[in-house]
Structure 1
Amino acid sequence: GLSVEPVSTQVIPRDRHAMFFAVLGVIASSIERLSTEVRHLQRTEVLEAEEFFSAGQKGSSAMPHKRNPILTENLTGLARLVRSAVTPAMENVALWHERDISHSSVERGIGPDATVHLDFALHRLGGVIENLLVYPENMMSTIDSMGGLHNSQRILLALVEKGVSREDSYRLVQRNAMRTWKKEGDLLDLLKQDEEVSSRLTDSELEALFDLGYHFKHVDTTFERVFGRS
Structure 2
Amino acid sequence: MIPRYARKQMTDIWEPATKFKIWYEIEAHACDAQADLGVIPRENAEAVWKAKDVEFDVARIDEIEAVTKHDVIAFLTHLAEHVGSEEARCVHQGMTSSDVLDTCLNVQLVRAADLLIEDVEGLLAALKKRAFEH
Q: TM-score range by the shorter chain?
A: 0.3 to 0.5
Which structure has more RCO (C-alpha within 8 Å, separation ≥ 6)?
A: 2
Larger-Rg structure: 1
The structure carrying a bigger helix percent of its residues is 2
Using structure 2 for the length normalisation, give the TM-score.
Answer: 0.43
Using structure 1 for the length normalisation, give the TM-score.
Answer: 0.29
